[in-house]
Amino acid sequence: MAFICRSAAQLLRPCRTAPFALTATRLCSSGGKYEYIVVEKRGQNNNVGFIQLNRPKALNALCDGLMREVGHALDGFEVDSGVGAIVITGSDRAFAAGADIKEMQNRTFQECYGGNFLAHWNRVSTVKKPVIAAVNGFALGGGCELAMMCDIIYAGEKAQFGQPEILLGTIPGAGGTQRLTRAVGKSLAMEMVLTGDRIGAQEAKQSAFELTLAEGNRLEKRLFHATFATDDRKEGMTAFVEKRKASFQDN
Long-range contacts of 227-234 (CB under 8 A, 24+ apart): 227/169, 227/170, 227/171, 228/107, 228/108, 228/109, 228/111, 228/112, 228/113, 228/170, 229/108, 229/109, 230/169, 232/169, 233/168, 233/169, 233/170, 234/105, 234/169
- The one catalytic residue in 90, 165, 220, 236 is 165
Task: Report the C-alpha gap between 73 and 70 in whole angstroms.
Answer: 5
Exposed, middle or buried, 237 (CB in 10 Å: 0-12/13-18/19+)? buried
**Residues 135, 179 contacting (CB under 8 angstroms):** no
Does residue 97 carry a catalytic annotation? no
User: What is the torsional sign of CA 86, 211, 14, 62?
Assistant: positive
**Structural contact between residues 43 and 80, judged by C-beta atoms closer than 8 angstroms:** no
Q: Which of 8, 73, 97, 99 is catalytic?
A: 99
Let me know if 99 is a catalytic residue.
Answer: yes
Concatenating the DSSP letter of every residue in 71-100 gives HHHHHHHHH-TT--EEEEE--SSEEE--B-
Residue by residue, what is the 3-state secondary structure of 205-245?
HHCCCCCCCCCHHHHHHHHHHHHHHCHHHHHHHHHHHHCCC
Q: CA–CA separation, 57 vs 110, rounded Å? A: 31
Please tell me which residue in 40, 69, 145, 220 is annotated as part of the active site: 145
Catalogue the active-site residues: 99, 142, 145, 165
